Amino acid sequence: MSRIKTLQSLFKRYRRPGDIVFAWFFFVLSIGLLTQITDQTAYRAGSSMMAQPRFWPAVSLVGMCFFAALHLVGSILSERIEGRWKEVILWLSVIEFAAWFVGYAYVVPIIGYLPATVLVSLLLVVRVGYRSRTILFSAVGVAIIIVLLFKTFLQVKMPAGQFYDSLPDGLRQIMLIYF
């Protein structure tokens, strides 16, 4: 018991709820990737070990397994912190915002950068609970400024929206180039 207690003191620091879930996840991921090493990397006969294409994936994955195992031992030996599954549910809930981001990227080539940015900003501020007119107008304003700064002024590569093709001639040209 005393041995475990002293080990605990060596391992246990700055922990938060859900630590052990992540420690298990990362350990299983590392082991899983390491088991694939012969399938996913090649071995060139005649080359030295360090010149093998397999060398660096092997070094990093063995290192990952080693440190992940120690991290897991640390988590197992530490006292349980309440709220583990509540924390995991919060991690999973973030997938919704990740989907918003991917959805935003998906609609840009369809409706165009400016309309997509204004729409997403507006919908997202409503989604996170804002209802005041000031915030809604600010969201639209900042969205327009972002488009003006990056697309109009800095000319970053953003695809033109298919929707722009249906606009009248003069306006279409402006929208295609600047928005």
Q: Which two tokens stand for residue 112?
A: 């165009």
Question: Which of positions 101-140 make contact with other proteins (CB under 8 A)?
Answer: 101-102, 104-106, 108-109, 117, 120-121, 124-125, 128-130, 135, 138-139
Strand, helix or coil at 166?
helix
The dihedral over CA atoms of 76, 78, 83, 89, expressed in degrees to the nearest 10, equals -40
**Residues binding other proteins: number (CB under 8 A):** 79
Closer CB to other proteins, residue 13 or residue 170? 13
Question: Which of positions 46-105 make contact with other proteins (CB under 8 A)?
Answer: 48, 50-51, 53-54, 56-57, 59-61, 63-64, 66-68, 70-71, 74, 79, 81, 87, 90-91, 93-95, 97-102, 104-105
If one asks whether residue 158 binds other proteins (CB under 8 A), the answer comes out as yes
Closer CB to other proteins, residue 111 or residue 124? 124
Closer CB to other proteins, residue 66 or residue 171? 66
Please give the Cα distance from 33 to 113 (Å, whole number).
38
CA proximity to 25, closest of 107, 91, 123? 91
Cβ-in-10-Å burial (0-12, 13-18, 19+) of 19 comes to: buried
* Cβ at position 175, least distance to other proteins in Å: 17
Closer CB to other proteins, residue 39 or residue 169? 39
State the DSSP code for 153.
I
